[in-house]
Each structure stands twice: as C-alpha cells, then as structure tokens.
Structure 1
C-alpha cells in the first residue's frame, strides 16, 4: 500500500512538472511571437499613433510621407521611438494571450465541443481580455513615448512616464485611461483574429494539404502549415478583425493621449463621449477610421508574423505536432 501511494505521488509530481514545463514553453513561444511581430511594424505603429491623435507636426502627412518626415525631422532611430516600452509590454501581453487562448480553447472545447466555432471565438476574446488587463498600463506608457517629437520631450523613459502620469493625472487609474474601449474593442478583435486563424488554418490543412501543409517534424503522422501558409492565414485574420474594431482603437488612443495637449483635453472624458466627440469633430473617414490604411499596412504583416512565429515556436518547442481536430 505504501509503495502504491508513493507511485501515485511520483505520477502526480511528474504530471505537475510536465504541465509547468508546457506552460513555460507556451509563454516563451507567445512572448517571442509578440516581440517579433511588433518590432517588424514598429515604424508603422508610431506613425499610426501620430496620425490617430492628430500630432501637430504630422497631421498633414500621409503614411509614407509621414515616415519620411519622421526621419527628416528627427532621425531614423525615431521610427522606433517607444519600441522599448513596447517590448516590455508585448512579451508578457503576447505570452499571456497565446497561453490563455490554449487554456480557454481546451476548457471551452470540453464544454461546447472541440470544433465549436463559438468556443474558438470566445477563447480568442477571453485571451485578449486577459492579456490586456494585465499589461494595459504599459500600452499607455508606450503610446505617450511614441507620441513625443524630438525636441519637445515631456517624458524620459518608461519609469519617468509612469511616475509622471500617476502623480499629475490622478493616480494609478490614469494609467488605465481608455481601458473600457480597449476591452470593448478587444472582444471582437481578438475573438475574430483567433477564430479566423484557426478556421482558415483548418481549411488549408484539410482541403488543400498538398499546397499548404507539410509533414510534422515529429514522428507523429501529423501535418502542419508551411510558413507561407501561416503568413497568409495570419494576414487574412488580422485584416478582417481590424475592420470591425478599429473605431474603438482610435477612441482608446485619443483617451490615452488627451492630457498631453490642452487642445485635445476634450477627448479624455469617457469612452462613449470620446467616441461621439471624435465623430462630431472629425467625422468617420478622418476621425473614427483615421489611419485605417496604415493599420492595414501594419496589422496584416503584424498578425501574420505573430501567428507564424508562434506556430513555428510551438513546433520547435514540441508543443504542436499536427492539425487540430
């Protein structure tokens, strides 16, 4: 009896160690994927923020002329302004998002059925909400740093930005300004992104395996997407999700940056009021969807690189051996 109990304890310990290792690997895979994708589009991220919030130096420029103006007015390195804060934020954000998606997908799959479309959408939405809740203050800090123009700096680094916002703008809650529209936008965006990726991935693997798949590197008999197919799946997923959630992304940015300029203070008073103010002042095309063209330019490769890197990391770390059923 004693030996049996010891054997059970050993099995439990091995299972716990295996689960812990899986979670750590999953967090690493997600974090690396997020860092790669965000660094890829960092210059487009910065010009998007400058255009969304009508920075006085760049309001009259378009995407490519704006990028050229940043280099001319500031420097080439200025294209990546705020990317340090972005990396600090995006590693835990992406790690939590991808890992929690796998958790929610398994949990909801056991309740709603493994192939449930509702389950996939809900898993993506919950994963996005979970990740953004933990990392939102870093997004606010990154936006403030990216919005600054050389020669007119208000903040000097991540710690100084956080301290200044907390001390001058009403405490810790100021770091969460724009959080509500972010959550409202995250539900359709993350839900549709993960849902579309999983759906397109499954379609490619099962319908066009000769074109879009290859044998798994592990001796499991499974198949995985080729790298070009991963990029296509991610790009299509990101493009569709952005169309739905973009006005709330604009609202979030206007709220985050409202206190940096007295002229934009009217945009910092609640989600619905800010949304309505943006519509009344700037309209639909130049307001709610301002910067949408650049968002496609950045979102499609960003999501493509993110999902592709994550899938490759899963295969490298032996977390994924083939097609999901």
Structure 2
C-alpha cells in the first residue's frame, strides 16, 4: 500500500474543506437545533416534537427566534470542522504508518478509524467548547445577550475559562461518539458498496453513482452518529451549559442530572437530532469531497478490505 505524503498545502485544503462544509451544514440546521435544545431544557416544550416545537417557538417569539445562536454555531463549527476533517486525514495516515504494511493496516482498520476519529475530535473540541457553551446559553436563556460577541464576552467575564469549558467533558462524550459514527460507519458503507463491484466498475462510476453512494453512506453514518452521541451526552450538555445541576465536580453534576432526568429524559429530542444529524453528516461528506476537488486536494487514504 502506498501511503501518500500529504503536504502542508494538502492539509490546509483539508482544513478549509472541513471548515466550510461544517459551518454551512450546521448553520443551515440552526432552526432544528434551536427546537431540539428548547425541548431538552425548557419545561414548556415537554412532549413536543420537531414540528410542534417549531410552531411553538414561532408562535411565542416569532420566526427570527429560530436563528438564535447562529453566530456561535457558524464560527464554532468553522474551527471544529476544519480541525476534525484535517485531523482525521492526518491521524488515519499516521496510524496506517504505525501499522507498517497493508495487510496489518487493513486487518486493524476499525481501530485505525476509531483512533483517528477520536483523537481528531478531541483537539477539535478544544476549539468548539466555548462557542458551543455560548450558543446553548443564547438559545436556552432568552435575552442573555444579543449575539456571539456579547454572549461570549459575558460568559468569559462572569464565569471565566471555567464557565466557558464547563461542558468540555460532556461535549467530549457527545462529539467523540459522534465522530466515530460519522467517519467509521461512512468508511464501512463505502467499503460494502465497493466490495460488490469489479475494479472496472469502480473506475467507470458516473457522477450520479458517486453522489448516490456518498449520500446513502452519509445518511447511514448520520443516524449512527446521532444515536451514539445522544445517549445521554447531548441532553446533559444542554443542561450543564444552562447552569443546571448542583455545584461540585463535573462527574458529580453529570450523575445528579442523569438521575434527575431519568431514562426517558436522557433521550429527549432524539427524533429531531436524528433528522438533523442525517442531514448534517450526508451534506458534510458531499460538500467536503466537492470542495477538496475544487481546491485540487488529493483524495484521502483508503484502507478498505478488498474482495
């Protein structure tokens, strides 16, 4: 197996493509995320779904409320998306080199996918956490601030670094399983499709066929990412960033909140999240590949098992 020697320019292209695809997709999903967060933290939304919740937001606060938190969402996922996608390319290549040869890399490809996704997401979340905390505070506490800059500065002024990173542990519990589902399931979906094709068929795939494969793989990966990340980290993250729960260590606060929410409460908003995440992940992979192509970046390293 020939391991590509990606240049700094290649990684810059990976970063730019990842940043753009994530900020565009997450920004477009802001209305769904607003409703999901309200369902998780506002008792007035208890029992509502995505459609009824959206109607309730519009009736109470007007259509503009559905764009609450757009600023920190766009900026946060611009940084996180670039770091995640470029990081995944970097760490996958690094772990393949550690494996030493093609047979070993293919044999342990699942571990390579899991490791690359986890490490890349860890570093990406360092950039995302304070902006995600700002977004959740803006969405869950109406009137907290007028936007990204005022919300971020108020949190930093009143709570400091500790407040901005209060959700770091739950966001890791949410985002790392999300990245694992996103990248690993997408890799295996592509592998399953390509394994059933001859080499000639793969070389002659039409643009529509490539699009269909990427879309189907992305949707499947999105459902997996939603389920893995939602059990219970997404709900607890929203609660932590709104300031709920007792004082004390993060583990103690998370345990107390989980006990208070109960099994059913921990899955609040899962339906809207599955819809949102399927759209997010599939659109991200489609945009990522297209933006990379436009930037002249090389394809990522593949370690799929052949027939």
Q: Same fold (TM over 0.5)?
A: yes
The alignment partner of 1:156 has SS state of: coil
1:124 is aligned to 2:117: yes
Cα RMSD over matched residues? 2.6
Change (3 A) 1:225 1:111: farther
Q: Which residue of 1 aligns with 2:255?
A: 276
Contact kept in structure 1, 2:96 and 2:105, CA below 8 Å: yes
Q: Which residue of 1 aligns with 2:83?
A: 96
Superposed counterparts of 1:37-186, under 5 Å: 37-53=25-41, 55-112=42-99, 113-115=104-106, 116-149=109-142, 153-169=143-159, 171-186=160-175
Find runs of 4+ consecutive structure 1 residues off by over 6 angstroms: none
Contact kept in structure 2, 1:213 and 1:225, CA below 8 Å: no
Superposed counterparts of 1:251-266, under 5 Å: 251-258=236-243, 264=244, 266=245
State the TM-score, normalized to the length of structure 2.
0.85
Task: Identify the match of residue 233 of structure 2 among 248, 260, 268.
Answer: 248
What does the per-residue CA deviation read over 1:58-115, in whole Å, with 9 as the maximum and x for residues that have no partner? 3353221110111222222221111122111111110110001000010001112443
Change (3 A) 1:26 1:225: farther
Change (3 A) 1:215 1:270: farther
Q: Which residue of 2 aligns with 1:32?
A: 20
The alignment partner of 2:154 has SS state of: helix
What does the per-residue CA deviation read over 1:155-213, in whole Å, with 9 as the maximum and x for residues that have no partner? 122222122222223x2121001111222333333123211111211222332479x96
User: Any gaps of 5 or more consecutive residues in structure 2?
Assistant: none
State the TM-score, normalized to the length of structure 1.
0.81
Change (3 A) 1:114 1:216: farther
User: Any gaps of 5 or more consecutive residues in structure 1?
Assistant: 1-15, 218-222, 259-263
Larger radius of gyration: 1
The alignment partner of 1:154 has SS state of: coil
